[in-house]
Structure formats: structure tokens, C-alpha cells
Amino acid sequence: MPSRLPIQDIFAGLVTSIGTAIRYWFHYTLVAFAWLGVVPLTACRIYKCLFTGSVSSLLTLPLDILSTENLLADCLQGCFVVTCTLCAFISLVWLREQIVHGGAPQWLEQNQQQPLNGVGQQNEAQAAVNGGVENAVLDQPANPAAENVVVGENPEIQEEQVDEEEEDNEDEEDAAVEDAADANNGAQDDMNWNALEWDRAAEELTWERMLGLDGSLVFLEHVFWVVSLNTLFILVFAFCPYHIGHFSIVGLGFEEYVQASHFEGLITTIVGYVLLAVTLIVCHGLAALVKFQRSRRLLGVCYIVVKVSLLVVVEIGVFPLICGWWLDICSLEMFDATLKDRELSFQSAPGTTMFLHWLVGMVYVFYFASFILLLREVLRPGVLWFLRNLNDPDFNPVQEMIHLPIYRHLRRFILSVIVFGSIVLLMLWLPIRIIKYLLPNFLPYNVMLYSDAPVSELSLELLLLQVVLPALLEQGHTRQWLKGLVRAWTVTAGYLLDLHSYLLGDQEENENNANQQPNNQHARNNNAIPVVGEGLHAAHQAILQQGGPVGFQPYRRPLKFPLRIFLLIVFMCITLLIASLICLTLPVFAGRWLMSFWTGTAKIHELYTAACGLYVCWLTIRAVTVLVAWMPQGRRVIFQKVKEWSLMIMKTLIVAILLAGVVPLLLGLLFELVIVAPLRVPLDQTPLFYPDWALGVLHAKIIAAITLMGPQWWLKTVIEQVYANGIRNIDLHFIIRKLAAPVISVLLLSLCVPYIIASGVVPLLGVTAEMQNLVQRRIYPFLLMVVVLMGILSFQVRQFKRLYEHIKNDKYLVGQRLVNYERKSGKPGTSTTPPQSSQE
């Protein structure tokens, strides 16, 4: 091998590398064009063609697909259509798995039970011959009453089982014997697939091969199938329901009302799905009458799909939307608004208005469910029997949608609307009326933005997002405080109304008895397991309920129990009203008073005043809880803790001034000089610099995030060490010496060196005033460009060195051999060399 590569070898290697890069570029361009261009564009054009409603659009569809008009908008809309179709396909597959594993509804499988009984009896006979644990379970008597022992304590469960028993008594048993062969064949068709072949196909079909990132052209077939799947799903799940609903609405004369809603397509499609569900259930009944077993099952499965889809739309879309609008209507007086204002906003931007109300409703539902989960941690198991337990391992909302009838879901929906609406009235509308009566000048809240405010809105938003919300959303302390308040209220209400056993149970007594009689307690727990049921169901429930509360816990029922429950509800309503009054007034009062020292008499958005007041209240409660926790340890310990915390607060303040004050200020000024001033201020005008601290904080956070995600270097190591130490173990000397001083020095040099060159060196060269002004205004972006070019050149030099080594290895390297390295002092000639490559 020559000491240096010849020029022709380097040139040949460059040509080969460039050719490989061009080939990969063409392939990946084809992949991107197919998946990001052809698939969404064809989906959008086919969607528009189908919903145009004319035959001419079908005839001109090939030309429309090849049209170049509105390419970007159609591609974006097509991406949305493709996403919807893929989500529908995945949902269908997942729903099939739910039906297969969870079982179909009883009314769908009713005709197939008797023909399968013969096979089941043979299996049971074989199991009886083989023997085992299953026989012991199967030999137990079938006692329906044993499975309903807990039902007496839970009216909803009892009602559900009664409804299921009523559904089991439908008169369709005679069709089972006649269609036994069809049923067995249908069951075998569902299960007749080879799992090994599917697993092998799944292993061969990777994401790279499916998308075409492996270099092959197999992905073109996948593109064709995706386009076909999109067309099929658009036709079946959008075109047919929409036109069914459209013809029905036009026939009933409701077309004007639907058009006035600004959501004609969505409402028409939902109406089409409702009519389709009714048609499917009627056809299912007719197929059962004429004993068409396969058609009956197919129609039933289609009805389940439509039913689950509509219930998901109602649960996730309609219900939060109702809650959001009801919250808005009940809080109109708080913002000095009227229904006319909401109507005008809806007319101007219906989509945005509906989305915002849906989002507010979703947040309300989420926090309500979180509060119910917290209540379950405090209250006795069984108190909230009328609310579904989201932490229950047996709770599966999709299985409930599949199995429970429509009227049950409708009843739950109406009950949920009443409960959620009543709570909004109690905790929002009524407190607002009371506040307007007692404090006439307090409301409305100021939610208008003013451009003449002395404080930047971005600074306030940054303060809100970076300081206030992280403290308020800290799950540990806030959740524990709320849980403690709920428990204190429950204990107080329980002793006042003699409902302690009903609300909290006899936990204290059980704990005392457990210390005295552990064996009896263990026996009682063992005997409590079969209460849920007998056989495998009991064992399954026992496994699931290990380590968690059982579904019901007995309690002592006092005299006049209904009256006490009514008084408890009244007491709860009064407490919620008082808590709502405090939350609506105290933080805003405190925030307005504190912000007045900063902004004077200028009006500030009420979000900032409320956040400031909440933060002050949070700090006060936190300090009080810490002092209460330190009180039992004595005065000396308290003084020691105060001394430690004071020292830690002083260190934190110093670090905050340097890292959250000086560094962002310098970053904001540098950003103004490099980016903002050259772009916004012409050369014949004088720029006025107001260093934006808020933008500097954002830039500092972005730089820190990029540094932590990048390769390992000294700044990343220092930031990780500071994060690892935390506030309690803060090392002031390390932060100043390793982080603050180098960063501030670099920023000061970046600010001062260009200024010294522009103002001190350039005038000595004797240039004109215009040139001096040009240098002063453009030296900062010029130096930034020089630094970027130097970085790009260094990167390219490293890349060329790697390419040089790659060309040399390709042409001359034959193999590599690993040799042990041994250091022998005094004998340099006998020392072993590092691993070497044999050469041609």
C-alpha cells in the first residue's frame, strides 16, 4: 500500500460514494413521494369524488387524481383521511379481538349453545377420564344464588344481572337443532387459521420492508393495498352512512335545521349510522325468524360494530361537549358575557368554538374522575357503589358497550348528565350569584389583553408556565393535602351524623383486633373470598383482589338511616359551595393585591392574578405544613432546620440570579443584536435595545434541552451533575466555577469582542461613517456566520477523513488481526504492536 492514496483512487471512491448516495436519494425520494404524495392525494381526490354526488366526477376521476391544483392542501386533507381509515381498520381488528376473547353477547350466541353442547360434553367426558383440578371445580353444584351474594349490597349489579337473565330467556332455542351444522362450520371458520404461518409472516414483514426503507421495491404493492383499503373504508364507513342519513333528513324535512348547525356532514353521517343500526337489528330479527344462522350472526356482528362506534362518539365526543357548553353557560356572568356573544363567536368560528368547549369538558370530566378515585382511597369500599370503579381490573368499558343493551347506556348517559350538570350549578353558577350579591365590584374577571400594559404578557406567561404551574401541579403534596382534607371532612361528618361506620368502616377496630387476634383475622379474610362467587370465578376474583380493597365492606346501620344520608348530602353540598366560594375569591384577591405593587393600576389578565394568588396560597400552606411537621421535634431542631433551609434558600437565590437572571438577560440581548435588530431595523435608523428576559429564558431552556440530548461534552456533564444534586444538595461553588462562570464569560465575550472591533478598531482604519455604521450593525450576524461556516468546515474535514479511510480500506485492506498489547519497560524492540492490518 502506498504511503498516500493516489488521486485517481480518491476520485474513484468519491464517484462511487456519490453514485451510492444518488441511488439511495432516488429510492427514498420515491418512497416519500409514494407515501406522502400518492397515498394521501389519491385518498383525498377519491373522497371528494365520492361526495360530489355526480356521475361526471366519477368519469373524470383519473384526470382529477393527476391534477396539480391545490396539491399541498389536498395532501394534508388526504393525510387526515388516511389516518382516519387506518384508525378505523385498527379499531375493527381490536374490536374483533375483544369479541373473540371477551365473548359475544348472549343474544348473538344463543342459537349456537345447544349444538356446541355435544362437543362440550365430549370434552368434559375426556376431562373426567383424565382427572385433575378442573373436575373438582366442574363437580360443584351450579348455584345461581351463590354468585349473587354481594348483589344485595350493589343494586346496579343486581339490576344488570336481572336484565341479562331476561335477555337469556328469548325464544330462539328451536333454531339451534336445525342449524347445528351451520353453526359448527361458522365456529370452525373463525378458528381455522395457522398461528405459525401468521407469526412467520409478521417476522418477515418489518416496518422497513413495509415502508420501503430497506431498499427494495416491495413497498409499491403495499401502497396499492393501502390505496385500495382507503377507498373501501371511505365507501363503506363514510359514503354509505352519509347518503343514508342525507336521504332520511331530506325525506323528513330537517335539512334546514341540519344546515344551520354548521356541521352538516358530521350530523348527517351520525344520523346515517343510527338508521343503519336500526336496520341491522331489524334484519337480525328477521334472519332469526327465518332461521338464517350465518346471516343472523353477520348482521349481529355488524350491529355490534355500529353500536360500539356510536357509543364511543357519545362518550368521548357528545358528553364532554355538553359539559363544556354547560360550564360556559353557567359562567357567563363571571366574564360579563351573554349568550349572544357566544352565538356570535360560534357563527364566526364554529369549529374552533366547539373544539374549545369539548376540551374544557374533557378537562372537567378528567378531574372529576380523578377526584372520584381519590374518594375511593378514603371512603369505605361500597359507599360509591353507583359509580364505576376505573381501577377495577374487571372494568372493561368496551365489553360493557358490547354486552349491555342500548337502554342501559342511555340511562347511564342521562344520569351522568344530571350529576355533572348539578355539580356545575352547585360549584359555579350559585357561587357566582352569591359573589355578585355580596361583592358587587369583584366580578367580572378581566380576561382582555391590553397592549399598553407596563409588563410584557410573555413575561407573565413565562412566570405562569415555569414557576406557578409546576408548583401547583406537583402531585405529591397537593394530592396528599386534598386527601387529608377529604378524610378530615369525612371523619367530622361521620361523627356528627353517626355515619362513621358507613363512610369509613370499622377500620380502626379491625386494626386493633388484628393485633390481638391475628389468627381470627386471617380466617375471616380467607372466608371472605368465596363471597364473590364459587368455583373458578371465585378463584379469579380472589387473585384480582389481592392487595386491594374488596368490592364491599360491611358497616353498622344507625337509626333513621335515610334521614342521615339526606343530611350528609346537604352537608356535602354546603361544603362544596363554601369551597367553591373560597377558590373563586381568595386567590384572585391575593393576586390582585400582589400584582398591584408590580403593575400599579393597569389591568392584568385575571389568569395571571389567579395564578399568582394560588402560588402564594400554596407557599403559605407548604410553610405551615412543614412547621407543623417540625413542631414535635423540639425548638432546637426547628432552629437547626430553619438555619439549613435559610442557607439553602440563599444559595438557591444566588444560583437563580446567575442562571435565571444574568444568563437569560445576556442571551436575550445577544439574540436582539444578532437576529432581531438586523432584520427589523434599517441601516438609516437607530435601534433601541430592550433586552427581553422572557425570550432569554426560553432560549436558555432550548439550549439546555439540546445540550442534554446531544453528545457527551463538558457542558452536558455539568448540567447533569447539577440536576442530579437537586436543590437540597445544591453545590454553590461547583455551579459558579463549572457552569455560571464559563457560560457568562462566553456570552460576555460574544457581546464585547464584536463591539470592541466595531467601535474601537474600525474607526482607527479611517473608514467612512457609513462603513462604520454598517460594520456596527452587521458585525454580530457576520461573526455568527463565520462561526457557523467554521463549524461546517470542521465537520466536512472530519467527514472527508472518514471517507479517505473508507476508500483506503476498500482498496487495500485484506483483513484485521487482534494482537495482545503488552507493555515491557526497557525493551522497546520486543514490545508488541497494536492490531495491524495485513495489506496487499
What confidence category does residue 501 fall into, taking pLDDT thresholds of 50, 70 and 90? confident
Task: Encode pLDDT of 266-288 as tens digits.
Answer: 999 999 999 999 999 999 989 98
pLDDT of residue 544: 40
CB 613 within 8 A of CB 594: yes
* pLDDT of res. 393: 77
Helix then strand then coil, in percent of the chain rounded to 5, is 80, 0, 20
Radius of gyration over alpha carbons of the chain, in Å? 37
Residue type, position 217, single letter: L
CA dist., res. 388 & res. 397, Å (int): 10
| Cβ-Cβ contacts under 8 Å for 276 (sequence gap 6 or more) | 240, 241, 244, 306
- Residue identified by cell 437576529 is 675
Whether 106 shows a pLDDT value over 60: the answer reads: yes
Summarize the confidence of residues 709-732 as an average pLDDT.
Answer: 88
pLDDT at 521: 42
| pLDDT for res 325 | 95
Mean pLDDT over residues 674-695, rounded?
82
Q: Find, among 652, 662, 568, 582, the residue nearest to 614 by Cα.
A: 582
**Closest residue by Cα to residue 747 from 670, 820, 694, 819:** 670
Sequence spans of domains, the chain: 293-444, 635-812
- Give how far the C-alpha of residue 655 lies from the chain's centroid of Cα atoms, to the nearest Å: 34
pLDDT in tens, 60-103: 777 777 777 888 888 999 999 999 988 988 999 999 888 888 77
Cell numbers that stand for 559 in this block: 337509626
Cα–Cα distance for residue pair 259/179, rounded to 1 Å? 48
Within its chain, how far is the Cα of 391 from the centroid? Answer: 18
Least confident of 312-316, 476-480, 564-568, 624-628: 476-480
**Is the per-residue pLDDT at 768 higher than 80?**
yes
Which secondary structure element, helix H or strand E, spans residue 205, and what is its range?
Answer: none
Strand partners, 816: 837
Residues 386, 389, 395, CA angle at the centre, nearest 5°? Answer: 115
The amino acid present at 454, given as its one-letter code, is P
Which set of grid coordinates corresponds to residue 150? 354481594
pLDDT at 520: 41
**pLDDT bracket for residue 12 (50, 70, 90):** confident
- Torsion sign, CA atoms 101, 103, 108, 109: positive
> CA–CA separation, 304 vs 311, rounded Å?
10
Cα dihedral: 207, 213, 215, 218 (round 10): 50
pLDDT class of 472 with cuts at 50, 70, 90: low
What's the pTM value of the predicted model, to 2 decimals? 0.69
- Asked if residue 779 lies in contact with residue 757, where contact means CB atoms within 8 angstroms, the answer is yes
Burial grade of 750 (CB within 10 A; 0-12, 13-18, 19 or more) = buried
How far, rounded to the nearest angstrom, does the alpha carbon of residue 798 sit from its chain's CA centroid?
Answer: 42
Given a cut of 50, whether residue 530 has pLDDT beyond it is: no
